[in-house]
Structures are given as C-alpha cells and as structure tokens.
Structure 1
Amino acid sequence: MRRAVVAAGAAVAVAAGGATAAAALHGDDAPAPAATPSGPTAEITRSDLVDTKTVDGTLGYSGRRAVPNAATGTVTRTRSEGAVVRRGGWLYQVDGRPVVLMYGSIPVYRTLSQGVEGADVRQLERNLKALGHDPGTVDDEFSWRTAQAVREWQDDQGLQVTGAVDARQVVVASGPVRIADVTAEKGDRAGMSVVTTTSTRRIVHVDLAASDQSLARLGAKATVETPTGRRVRGRITSVGTAARPASTDGGEATIDLEITVSGGTGRLDQAPVWVELASERRAHVLSVPVEALLALREGGYGLRVVDGARSRVVAVETGLFASGRVEVSGSGLAEGMKVEVPTS
C-alpha cells in the first residue's frame, strides 16, 4: 500500500545534512567569512508549493443502480457486462421482447395512452422525436399523433404494437448507462431486477479519515494513479456530510469523498487506485531543496549562497515543506540565486 511521505517530516534530515554548518554564523548573527563552495548547487526558484497526502481509493462509475423490472416472463437475452446502452437501445429481453432505454427524469409509473396528460407524456414525446418517430407537437397531451408514433416505434423495436407505453417496455435514465452486472441468466424467470447499471461517468470513491477532512474541499483538484501507473487529473465533486463510525476497533471514522476523473482510466471497475490530495498550498513563493538547509548554532536555519567562486551563509525563515522542497524567506534572497546542497 502506497503512502506519500509527509513533507514536513523532511526537516529531520536537515540537522544531519547541515551539522557541519552549525557555526556558520558568529556572535550576534555576524556573517562568517566568505568561503569557497565545495558541493553541488541548486537554484532558488519561485513557484506555487503544494503539500500533498496520498490516500487509497476505488475507481468505478457513478450512479450504480439495480434497475427495477416490470416485464414478466423468461429472460431471453442479456448484454455483456461493460456494454454501454444509449437512448433507444435495449437493456435486456424478456420473452423475446426488449426493455428499452429512454432519457428523462420521470420513471414510467403508469400506462401512457391516448387521452393521458402530464409531464411524463412530454418526456415520452421528446424521446420519440429524438428516435425519429414524429409525435407532432411535443407537449403534455398524448394525442392520436403520439399514439401513431408509439406504434411505429414499437414495430421497429419488435414490441407488441399497442400504441400505449408502460414500464414493461421502457426504463428511464438521465443519459447513457453502462451494464455493471447481469443478475439473471438466459432462461431465468425475470425477477425484480435483471441488470444493475451505472452512468458512464468515471469516479473514484475514497473513505477519507475524518481527521483528514481538511483535504476534502469541493472543487479541489486531485491526482489519481491507476494500477497501471498512469496518473490522471481529477476534481472533488462530492463530500459526505456525515461521518461513518470506524469499521474496526481502534479505527477511525470516515467520510465519503467522490472524485470525478476523465480520460486515461481504462475500463476497470472497482479497481484500487491512489489519490493525491492537496493539504496546503503556498502561491508564488521562493523555495529550495530541503537538503540545502543548514542548522545554525544560534537556532533556526540558513542557506549557503554561492556567488561564483565564493559563498556565504544567509539566515532564513522556513515555511511550507512539500515535495522535497521548503519555502524560504530572508533578506537578500532572490529567484535564480545558487545555494549549496550538501551531499551528506
């Protein structure tokens, strides 16, 4: 199991790397005489510095749902897991007749036939028109034109041609769905559900320790590493509002975190991934490699600034430690300056 090294802990190494410079400043911060640099150097850079923490996550798809089934009879055909079904496509077949996907937000809760009115009629007509069957004016009224469009659609689909629509024929979802699990084999009686679907939107779910909830900022960026080693960008799109109790003795309560990712994730479902979350950020600051810090006898830290063949020790204030670098500030420091980086 991978974990990011907490950057702030890198300061422990500084004392060892800078022990030889403990007397670099004399008296009341009087500078030591200029010396000849003896080690490799690095530049002082100005950039955003970000501290991160890596946590475990699970890569999958959003909107997992066991689709309710209203068709009675024997399951005669199913799709393979992972197949994507779009408007007008069939999800499965019962007694040789398909159960078809349409788009919308209102489930088919009644029989829609001539004379019926309502928002669900408008939703049906919108789908019929998108599928090439003209219902006339798209409105809340199921007219004879609507019934004619339904008959044409039913004939194309291999359904019983009745001019009416009910839940035995149609399942409604907000958009394309992916077959996540087939719960009935061909030859089985069609039960309460035949398939489980998800949306096609890729997400990573994280059970985030409640003590790390400061990392859970809605809209914040994240980086996800897949089992193949590929790193893809993501964004936090959902943060749980209630903590779940620890699942084991001595464990910690967790909150749900959902990160939306796109591209480069393959088709793996329920795959373990690693998620890099930003815990702290400093914008447009000067920083150096942590190893460049020198522990000063008077307390605090300094840098050995290299200027050509000469060098001098400059006292600095440290800020954020992140990604092997440390934020520094002090009189006379500037971007592009060279500092010595001890090798041991």
Structure 2
Amino acid sequence: MGGTAVIALGAGIFAGTRITSPADAIARTAAPEASEVTVPVEARTLNSEVVTRGDVSAAGAVDVKPETGGLETPPIVTGQVPEVGAEIAEGAALLEIVGRPLIALAGELPMYRSLRPGMSGPDVAQLEVTLDRLGLDPGEVDDEYTLSTGNAVADLFERIGYEAPAPDPGAEAELDAANDAVEAAEDAVEDADDALDAGDSATGPDGAPVDTDALKDALDEAREQLADARTARDEAAAAAGTPLPASEVVFVPSLPRRVDEVHVRRGGQIDGAAMSVSGASLVVTANVDKADFELLAVDQPVSIELPTGEQVPGTITAIDEAEGEGASGWNVTVAPGELTPEQAEALRGQNVRITVPIESTEGDVLAVPLAALTAGPGGESRVEVMRDGVAELVEVEVGLTAQGYAEVTAVDGTLAAGDLVVVGDTGDDSDDGGDE
C-alpha cells in the first residue's frame, strides 16, 4: 500500500507539470512586446545612376555588290578575298575580279555607271570629293570629269599596285590623230616663216623689194591652223584620259568597315553580293522608360560592362523616341570609347549592362536608409534616434537619394555616424499613435 501511494503521488506531480491553464496558454502565445528596429547612421559616398541593358551591333551593315555587267568576260574572282573580321580601309582593294581590283570608297551614291573624261553629274562630284579627301589631286572639285580627274584616278590605282584603267581605244586613236595634226601644223608654220624670211631678203628684177604680203597672210593662216590643232589635241587628250570602270569601284556609306560575311571564293564567279560589311565601330542600343529618359542627355559618359566583367567607357550619342508597332519608351544609342581588338570582339553581338552616372556626393556624407525618414507635422523631414533607450526626433535636411539611402544633415539636434536610427519595429504597429 505504501509503494502504491508513492507511485500515485509521483504520477500526480508529473501530470501537474503537463497541465496548462487557459490564461497561461494565452500568455505564452501572445505577440512579444514591440521594440524598435534600428540601424546605424553611415558615412558613405552616394552615387545616383541609371542602369539598363543594351544590344551591341555594328553600324550600318551593307552588301557589297560589284557592278559586273560591263565586263567582257565572266566575273571570276582572281584574288584579294578577305577573311571574316578583316577591316576594309578607304582606297584599298577589297576584292580582285578578272585581275582587276575592286576599290572601296566612301560615298552615298552607288557606282551606277562607268565614268570618263567629259562626263558630269553628282557621281562625278562624289568621286572628286573622295579623291581630294584621299590626298589625290582631281583639279577643281566640281561635277566635271576632266583630265585632272583622270590623272587622280590613275594615281589611286597606282597607289595600291595596279595599272590605271586603259582609256577608250577610239579616244586613243583620236588623240594619236590629233597629235599628228599638231605636228603637221607646226611644220606648216615653220615653212611659212622660212618663206617669209626669204621674201624679206629677196629683190625683184628691178632691184626693188619683193611684195611679201601674201607670205605674211600664209604665215598667219598657218599659225591659226596650229592653234586649232592644239585645241583639238587638248580635247582629244582629255577624252583619252584615265576612265573609271564601274566594275572596279564600289561606294559604301562610310569607311573603314568590318567584313561580316564573304559569299565568294577565289576561282568562283560572282553572282549578287560578294560580301557583307558593317561599320568597324560598334554601337550599343538600349531602351529606357520615361523616368530614366528625363535623367539622360546626349554626350553623357557611360560605363559598359563587357561579358568578361571588364568596364569600358562610352558616350551617349543619340536619344530618340521608340517607333514602330508595339514600341515604347526611348532608344538610347551609346558609342563605346576606344577598344582593343579583343574588347571589340568580346562586345560584338552581346547584350550588355550600361551604367550612366547621374549625380554623386563629393566624398563621404551622413546617410540613412530611406525607411528611416519620416515626415513631421509641417512636412519637415526627420529621423528617430535612439539614445540610451530613449527615442529622439531629429529634423534633417535631405540631400541626394541613391542606392536606397538618403544624404542627411541635422537641422535641429545632432547626428553623427554610428548613431542608431529607427527604421521600424518588431511589434504590431497597426496603432502606434505616431504622427507620421
């Protein structure tokens, strides 16, 4: 009986530890007493920036289509085939067709006809501007293809190691005939002049001087014929000047350019585009919304992140409202700064991160999270500082806001780095009695 009583007593005590009254249960499950969440005031540099992404592309891709319709033989590629990635400079041969170069020049008008002395038009004007830019002397830069223009064209071909295009055979024959006519006219003037000299010294049977009026007229006529012959010779020489065959030049909007695709091979025949070339310079195009658009401007510097993580500088060159079906926002065009070949290749065709610095504090400033700012009854900004467990409201002037922080300067009270400011509390704040 005694043992049974001891066991019963022990069981009662254990059961008592497991029984909880309703009041105890409510007390244990109630929300903890509210307490403030604080963070320290920091001394840090703030940077406001626009961050977006953009697609990298080469400027102005175009197809190179040689004009081969005037060739007397099939347009067989005989050499100078470039590799993909090669850079094409102005005035260089980018291909060789039937032993003749295809020279790349910069210009908006295509090479739609062969040019030769005596022609005129906007394509001639474009050619002379180009020759002058390359340091070749086309004479007066106008829209007339002259002997000087032809000479400059000949110099262009000789500069890259090719013979100048041959003049028209008919024009050469006319020039030969004109040269013969000049020589004959010069001989006639010399004969007439000799006859006049002989007449001046001769006397008639009666000893009187011979009448030389007829001899003088003959000399004048011979001199006029020589002048006409020389004029005709000059015209023939101009007509027989160096021409520019349409098959030996291609104009593209700008140079230098990069070869993106090659559609021909040595020994093959050209049929359509020989290659596709794009601007050697890269551009990055991004799209931004209205909020970012209002912060951006042409000529702003940017930072472009390469796929490798390396940062390279760039500049905003254009900002245009997006157009087209479904388009929205604004398109921002960025030109990268000087790139190494490796950087350019790493960028080509990529989607990259662009950072545009907008504003920055000059060194470290006092900064608090935006959540620490509250508005007072008069609209003033303030922070709540915990000092020895007691909250103190400090009015502040807000400067730059960036990266989730705000620059603050105490207006009423003191504030220093390391002070703890309230950003929230851990309890139920549905009715905290505040005036925020």
Category of TM-score, reference length = shorter chain: 0.5 to 0.7
Q: In the TM superposition, what are the counterparts of 1:97-246 in structure 2 within 5 Å? A: 97-129=100-132, 131=134, 133-154=136-157, 156-158=161-163, 160-162=165-167, 163-172=242-251, 173-208=253-288, 213-214=293-294, 217-246=297-326
Cα-to-partner distance string for 1:81-105 (whole Å, 9 max, x where unaligned): 2222222111222233221112344
Matched, 1:327 2:407: yes
Percentage of pairs with the same residue = 24
| Shift in alpha-carbon separation, 1:147–1:339, aligned structure 2, 3 A | same
What CA distance in whole angstroms lies between the structure 2 residues aligned with 1:297 and 1:95?
82
| 1:267 counterpart residue number | 344
Cα-to-partner distance string for 1:146-191 (whole Å, 9 max, x where unaligned): 2233334345335643321143211224332222222334444323
| Shift in alpha-carbon separation, 1:75–1:238, aligned structure 2, 3 A | farther
- Structure with bigger helix share is 2
**1:227 counterpart letter in structure 2:** P
2:36 to 11, 19, 22: 19
| Structure 2, unaligned runs of 5 or more | 1-34, 70-74, 168-241, 424-436
The answer to whether the Cα contact below 8 Å between 2:78 and 2:99 also exists between their aligned partners in 1 is: yes
The answer to whether the Cα contact below 8 Å between 2:165 and 2:244 also exists between their aligned partners in 1 is: no
**2:249 counterpart letter in structure 1:** V
Q: How many residues align?
A: 296
| Shift in alpha-carbon separation, 1:96–1:19, aligned structure 2, 3 A | farther
Of residues 161-170 and 293-302 in structure 1, the stretch that sits farther from structure 2 once superposed is: 293-302
Cα-to-partner distance string for 1:27-83 (whole Å, 9 max, x where unaligned): xxxxxxxxxxxx9764376x7x4142x322222322222233313613344211222
| Shift in alpha-carbon separation, 1:105–1:245, aligned structure 2, 3 A | closer
What CA distance in whole angstroms lies between the structure 2 residues aligned with 1:303 and 1:234?
43
What CA distance in whole angstroms lies between the structure 1 residues aligned with 2:92 and 2:267?
21
TM-score (norm 2): 0.55
What CA distance in whole angstroms lies between the structure 1 residues aligned with 2:151 and 2:164?
14
| Shift in alpha-carbon separation, 1:292–1:149, aligned structure 2, 3 A | closer
| Structure 1, unaligned runs of 5 or more | 1-17, 22-38, 247-251
**1:267 counterpart letter in structure 2:** A
The answer to whether the Cα contact below 8 Å between 1:97 and 1:159 also exists between their aligned partners in 2 is: no
Cα-to-partner distance string for 1:114-161 (whole Å, 9 max, x where unaligned): 112345334423444555654344443222232233334345335643
| 1:10 counterpart residue number | none
The answer to whether the Cα contact below 8 Å between 1:293 and 1:301 also exists between their aligned partners in 2 is: no
What CA distance in whole angstroms lies between the structure 2 residues aligned with 1:209 and 1:324?
20
What CA distance in whole angstroms lies between the structure 2 residues aligned with 1:64 and 1:288?
51
The answer to whether the Cα contact below 8 Å between 1:220 and 1:236 also exists between their aligned partners in 2 is: yes
Q: In the TM superposition, what are the counterparts of 1:285-324 in structure 2 within 5 Å? A: 287-291=365-369, 294=372, 301-302=382-383, 304=385, 314-316=394-396, 318=398, 321-324=401-404
Of residues 167-176 and 145-154 in structure 1, the stretch that sits farther from structure 2 once superposed is: 145-154
| Shift in alpha-carbon separation, 1:186–1:99, aligned structure 2, 3 A | same
**2:43 counterpart letter in structure 1:** E
| Larger RCO: 1 or 2 (CA < 8 Å, sep 6+) | 1
Cα-to-partner distance string for 1:190-226 (whole Å, 9 max, x where unaligned): 2332222222322112244678644654333332111
TM-score (norm 1): 0.68
Q: CA deviation at 1:293?
A: 6.6
What CA distance in whole angstroms lies between the structure 2 residues aligned with 1:109 and 1:237?
33
What CA distance in whole angstroms lies between the structure 2 residues aligned with 1:167 and 1:210?
49
Secondary structure of the equivalent of 2:247? coil
